[in-house]
Structures are given as structure tokens and as C-alpha cells.
Structure 1
Amino acid sequence: MTAADQDWRNGALGTRVRVALWLRDEVGVGNTFSRAALRAAITGAEQVDRRMRDLRPAGWVIRTNLDKPSLRPEQLYLEKVGAPVWERKHRGAGLRQISAKTRRDVYARDQYLCRRCGIGAAEAYPDEPGSTARLTLGRMSPGGTGSAVDAEELMTLCARCDESTEDTAGARVGLAEVWRQIEALPDHLQRELLGWMAADARVMTPVERAWGLYRQLPTGQRDATQQSLRDLLKS
């Protein structure tokens, strides 16, 4: 193994490996860091926060203010370095393998919509002009081993919701705002929402299911489908 293979600045390395090396070399066990510092260091890579979380099943212990109250909301604490994922024999430690069929099945089951916010693929975020959703898969229960993953353990998430799944400190809304929105709903919608909460899943209407499928079409086919629907409604 060359020195470049253990340099977190090496953009040719995988993001999880770079994150692990940065934590080992720049933070060190027993020290705190922030997500902002991590993102600033590991540039040119996607989903840096998620790759950091992927170290936990490999034995890395990274605490947040949720389980270490002395930390500020923006701080994290490196308590333990786990498997040396920069070494080839440990490269897959803690990673769970998802087959192409399982991936397709989960997307289809969830109607190609994010299970948390309901956004569809390539749909614009209302609160982030110019930013569009990219769908990925998240775990129902974070963590686990390196074994294969079944569809029942997975759910469709947009990349933004997946980043914040285990990051309450980084949530984009607070409890007070959520409750204000819930209180403003009429009774029948509050009951419907309670059902979603109990099932931990949104019950989608037929039009929402059709929308999720429509968003999977290439742009040209979406345009043709839109025109076909206009023609249908005129007839």
C-alpha cells in the first residue's frame, strides 16, 4: 500500500475511505469535529455525511449530541476507530449489499416516491429553488452487518431525507413548526395523518402513485404523456 492509498486528499479513493482517513489523521480518537468541517475537507464527493454513517457498522463509534449531551448540536465526537476500511481486505466491512432486483422492487413498491417527504425523482424541492430530488435507498433500521439486504428492510428516500435520517441536529424543521402545521389541519386530515404515523408510511392516493411512475419517464415521454392527458380531457 502506497502513501497515496492512505491520504484522505486522494480523490481517487472512495468517499468512505477518505472520510475514515480524515477522521483518523485530522480528528483523532477523543476529539470533536463538525459536519461542516468534514464536507469542507472531502470535496468533490457526494453524500459525505452518509459515507460517515456507513463507518458505524464497521465498528467506528461516532457520537452526536443525542447520545453525548455535552456536545453542541453541530458537534460530533470520534470515540473509536473501527475497521481500517482503507485496507483492501477491510474495504467492504459493514457494508450491506443490495441486489439490482431488490433495488427495483423497493422503488416499485414505494411508487418511486420518497417515503419521508413524498417527492418524486427529479422533482424540484419547494424550499430549495434549482435543487431537484435524486432517489436512493435507506434502511428502515440503520446499522446492521455486511449481509445482503431484503426489500422489507429498505425504503425509498430522496438523497436529502436520507442525509438527515440519523441527523436530528441537522433537521430542516423544528418540532414547533411541525406541530403548528399539524394543528392547522382539519380534523379529517389529522386523523389521516395519525394513520400514516401509526403505519410509519404515507398511504398514497392513486393520483400520487401515477405521479411517481410518471416522474420515472424520460423527458420526451413525459411531454408526450402530458399531451395525451390533455387530449383525453378534451375528448
Structure 2
Amino acid sequence: MTTLPSWQNEVDGGRKVGGMVRAALWLLTEVGEGNIFTKAELRAAFPEASQIDRRIRELRDRGWRIDTSRDDPSLKQEEQRFVSQGAQVWVPGQAKAPKHKNSLTAAQRQKVFEADSYLCRSCGIAAGEGYGDGDGLTRSVLNIARRKVLLPDGSEEYEFVTECKRCGSGSGDREVDLGALLEHAENLSPMERTVLAGWIAKGRREPEPIEKVWGIYQTLPAASRTAFAGALEDAAESDGESGENADSSGW
């Protein structure tokens, strides 16, 4: 096992060690994956670093998962959880920011929100709406997330998407395979593709009446499900008899 440099050393082998690297080593050796640390503990460990909080944020851009209360509601505002390690930033060449790193301006964020109709693209909730569960007091907060997209040619790129705080909590890095989605669409019948195109044009999908009935049926207790199934069977038999009579009468 490779011995890690000390997080306390500001110079290693004649090379100056930056705050981001030292913060990463401190997380690994002093905090440990899965454990919680506070902003006060972080600042106490680096009293000479005025922007050590920013160095922690820079680690997130290099694959380190460090949750805040925005990501994990169980955390207090001053707490953060070191979930998992990313790039080995203390290794020469590994501290470089990934190509998909791109801090959005206020205007760019607004453009993403507008393109997504100010809706979370995971659950469809709008900003400030209640989730309809729990105490009814929790309101949605929309953020901008980076989503990795696997393109049909095998390449990948990162695109921005609107996501609410709840959907983004603990989700880690999500990705979508655009090529696979296109293949699924090709396997649809012409009628199904027409219906899908209609949903896309409207920007929403209205459940069919039969789906609504099925959804309500699934919520029924066992005895009621049995009664409903029996009534539906009787209705089907009645429809069949009506059809036979219609056929014999010339309809």
C-alpha cells in the first residue's frame, strides 16, 4: 500500500503542496470515508488558509463526493460528509480539473432553467411546489446538475439539466445513454412513435383512462380488489353477450 504524503506538509520533495491537495489528504487520513466533519474542524486544521472551503469544493470537481446538508437532509448546516474519494490529486498530473468542469454564470443558469421549463427533469416538480408527502411543508428547490450523456458514436459529453434538491440528494453522478434510447425508439411501432412524438410536442404525458383505473385498483385492499375483479369479469361477460346479440341482429 502506497504511503500518503502528510497533509501537514506545505512542501513535498521541493514542490509546494496546495490547499486542495492538503485538504484531500486531511479528509483521507483524519476524517475517513463515510464520516462527518464540520466547517469549524476544517478551518481549525488549516488556520493559515483563508479559502479552504473553496479547496473542498474544488475536490468535488475532481470526482470527490463530499455531501452538504443540501445533498443529505440528515446533515446539519455546518456539517459535511466525506462520502468517497475521487482523483488522487497529490499525484503529479492528477489535480487538473476535468474537461467537463464549467462554472455557469447567472445568465447561463437562467437559460438552462428556461430550456427545462423551470421543472425538475427527474420528477417534474416546479420551483417552490410541495412534494405532497410528509408534513407538507417541504418545498422544492431547483438546482443545475451536470449529466453525462453517452452519444451514439461512443463518445461522451456533459450537459446541464434542471434537478430539484430531493432528486439530486445522494444520487451521485448520473448518466444517460442516448444511443440506447434511440434504439428503444426504433423498436417502437409506427403508432407508438406517433404517440411518443405527441407527448414530446406537448411536453407532458397524460395517463390513459385504463392506466388511471389500474393505478387506483393497485391501491385497494385485497377484499376490494377481489370484488372489483369479479365485477369487471361480470361486465366483460355482459359486453360479450351484448356483442353476440348485436351480431345476430345485423349490427
TM-score normalised per structure 2: 0.36
Which one has the bigger helix percentage?
1
Bigger RCO of structures 1 and 2 (CA < 8 A, at least 6 apart): 1
Which one has the bigger strand percentage?
2
Bigger Rg, structure 1 or 2 = 2
TM-score normalised per structure 1: 0.38
